[in-house]
Amino acid sequence: MNPIKTNAALFFAGLIVSVASITSSHAADKPTLAFVVNGASDFWKAAEAGVKKAQAEMPDYTMELKYPEQASVAVQQRLMDDLVSAGVKGIMVSAVDPKTSTDGLNKIGSQTALFTTDSDAPQTNRVAYIGSSNIDAGMQAAEIAKKAMPDGGKCIGFVGLLGADNAKERIQGMKDGLKGTKIELTDVRGDDIDQTRAKKNVEDALVASPDVTCMVGFYSYNTPRIYEALRDAGKLGQITVVGFDDDPITLGGVKEGTVAATVVQQPFEWAYQGMKLMASYLKGDKSGIPENKLIIIPTVIVGKDDVDAYAANLKAMAGK
């Protein structure tokens, strides 16, 4: 054996290991930020695009959008615990049920920078909330109903998580907006983000309340399930439908006139601005956090005349 060749081989082998270790160390030092949603829904596709845009502008971070296996407090908490264990530096979460998650969210907030979106948890140690004013969104839903039903009527609402703040606030905002009118929101039915159950809730309501004149879909997938149930029952166009968000079925219904209008949020902006906000915060820049810790991205009403322009803007944001 040639000792010179052997020593050279050992030297280069050590050099390769050393370089690999440095590369691995740099990869490990690259901060990861996670956007954790409350359940599987096409609504979050826009947020995925927002995360992607922020990632492109901030390559020194790893940015991820994570879906829990199911819409439950326990499953979402386990996902966040796993992210913290993996070294994630910041988490933005749409909590499944903030009221029953205070301890779990505070645990996450004590270990990493915690922000909320979509459904706030102001009683926790979260740094800030970025998202819609759900009260305002509910009041906009009332405006749609009042314009579509000048003679009044009976509304039934449908929502994923009855206990979530975003649901409660939208419902309350709509009720407040309907005060003094002949329109009443008499009932709201939850489905725990089970879309089969969401459609069945509508079908059951048609049987149990034959006098219903208005249906409201408070979550993004609720309006499409209302649309399908009414279509199958031959009642499409006979009952006023007030929508939330921009599912293609919802926008199609608005364009054809079977959905009165829809209140749209901006999850793309929540994710895009939110990831950049978290990155700045982690660098020590807290100037983006207002005193009240609320960053409100306005909701808007999309009616029949607005659909084409709105859809085109969605495609542009998604880079299509």
Domain ranges of the chain: 31-132+267-289, 134-264
pLDDT at residue 97, as a whole number? 87
On the CB side of 24, CA atoms within 13 Å amount to: 6
CATH number (1.10.40.30, 3.40.50.300, 2.40.50.180, 3.40.50.2300) of 134-264 reads: 3.40.50.2300
Residue range 86-134, pLDDT digits in tens: 999 999 999 998 889 999 999 999 999 999 999 899 999 999 999 999 9
**Looking at the predicted structure, is the pLDDT value of residue 22 above 60?**
no
Spatial separation of the C-alpha atoms in residues 282 and 291, rounded to whole Å? 18
**Looking at the predicted structure, is the pLDDT value of residue 248 above 80?**
yes
Residue range 106-118, pLDDT digits in tens: 999 999 999 999 9
CATH superfamily to which 31-132+267-289 belongs:
Response regulator (3.40.50.2300)
Spatial separation of the C-alpha atoms in residues 72 and 211, rounded to whole Å? 34
Among 219-233, 254-268, 300-314, the least confident range: 300-314
Average of pLDDT values for 199-219?
A: 97
Cα–Cα–Cα angle for 65, 67, 72, rounded to 5 degrees: 140
> By the 8 A CB rule, do 191 and 127 touch?
no
pLDDT at residue 318, as a whole number? 65
Spatial separation of the C-alpha atoms in residues 2 and 31, rounded to whole Å? 46
Spatial separation of the C-alpha atoms in residues 225 and 198, rounded to whole Å? 6
pLDDT at residue 8, as a whole number? 44
**Looking at the predicted structure, is the pLDDT value of residue 45 above 80?**
yes
Please name the residues in contact with 257: beta carbons below 8 A apart, sequence gap of 6 or more.
Answer: 237, 304
| Domains 31-132+267-289 and 134-264 fall in the same CATH topology | yes
